[in-house]
Amino acid sequence: MKILVDFFPIVLFFAAYKLGDIYMATLAAMVGAVIQVGYTWFRTRKVETMHLVSLVLIVVFGGATWFLKDPNFIKWKPTVLNWLFAVVFLGSQWIGREPIIQRMMGSQIELPSAIWRRLNLAWTVYFVVIGAINLYVAFNYEESVWVNFKLFGMLGLTIAFVLLQSVFLARHLAPATAPIKED
């Protein structure tokens, strides 16, 4: 269910674009982000920072797209969001006791401090690269290609990165001990 909530504004953006144009899609994403934050608040009485930051960015960049009738603003939104994440992840290397990735995943797995830092830096690089790829696609291909990339390409790259991360993590996890069966 959480994944549906997380992707709700993006899916609305994609569907509205297919039914209309970039302006309808931008408005749908703005409304979707408001619904996403409202729904999460109503159900849990708290909202994830990522959803709030995304809401602010979609309102700012979506609003600029609408009022200035310039779709380039909405094309910058994914890059700005990813680069903000990169700054936060990089900053967490020196601010706080643990890198942010360790704060997010540390209760589920145990890793040496150096591995957490490497993983955190990998995510920093990933966010910088995905932001740059978004700009490349947005400004070198047709708008419809960018819209497809925004949903399918970014999702696919994220899944690939998470799979690579899993392979990296598997090398550093202690092997699980199987229970001993007595006959």
In the predicted structure, residue 41 carries a pLDDT above the cut 60: yes
Rounded percentage of the chain residues whose pLDDT exceeds 70: 94
Give yes or no for a contact between 138 and 146, defined as CB atoms under 8 angstroms apart.
Answer: yes
51/111 same-domain check: no
Q: Which of 37, 53, 68 is the last residue of a domain?
A: 68
Model pLDDT, residue 54: 92
**DSSP string covering 46-105, please?**
---HHHHHHHHHHHHHHHHHHHHT-THHHHHHHHHHHHHHHHHHHHTTTSSSS-HHHHHH
In the predicted structure, residue 178 carries a pLDDT above the cut 50: no
Spatial distance between the Cα atoms of 49 and 29, rounded to a whole number of angstroms: 18
Residue 180 belongs to a domain: no
pLDDT digits (tens, 9 = 90+) for 80-92: 999 999 999 999 9
169/80 same-domain check: yes
81/158 same-domain check: yes
135/107 same-domain check: yes
Average pLDDT, the chain: 91
Question: Which long-range contacts link 62-69 to residues 24+ away (Cβ below 8 Å)?
Answer: 62/26, 62/27, 62/29, 62/30, 63/30, 65/22, 65/23, 65/26, 66/23, 66/26, 66/27, 69/23
32/52 same-domain check: yes
In the predicted structure, residue 180 carries a pLDDT above the cut 80: no
Stronger pLDDT, 62 or 169, i.e. the higher one = 62
Give yes or no for a contact between 16 and 32, defined as CB atoms under 8 angstroms apart.
Answer: no
Residue 85 belongs to a domain: yes
24/90 same-domain check: no
Number of domains in the chain: 2
In the predicted structure, residue 143 carries a pLDDT above the cut 90: yes
Count of H-run helices and E-run strands, the chain:
8, 0
Model pLDDT, residue 136: 98
157/125 same-domain check: yes
Q: Which of 18, 46, 68 is the last residue of a domain?
A: 68
53/104 same-domain check: no
What is the domain range of residue 33?
1-68
In the predicted structure, residue 132 carries a pLDDT above the cut 80: yes
Backbone angles phi, psi at 97, to 5 degrees: -80, -25
Q: Which of 51, 68, 85 is the last residue of a domain?
A: 68
Residue 178 belongs to a domain: no
85/169 same-domain check: yes
165/80 same-domain check: yes
Residue 179 belongs to a domain: no
90/134 same-domain check: yes
Among the listed ranges 121-125, 148-152, 169-173, which one has the minimum average pLDDT value?
169-173
The angle at the Cα of 133, spanning 129 to 134, to the nearest 5 degrees, equals 115
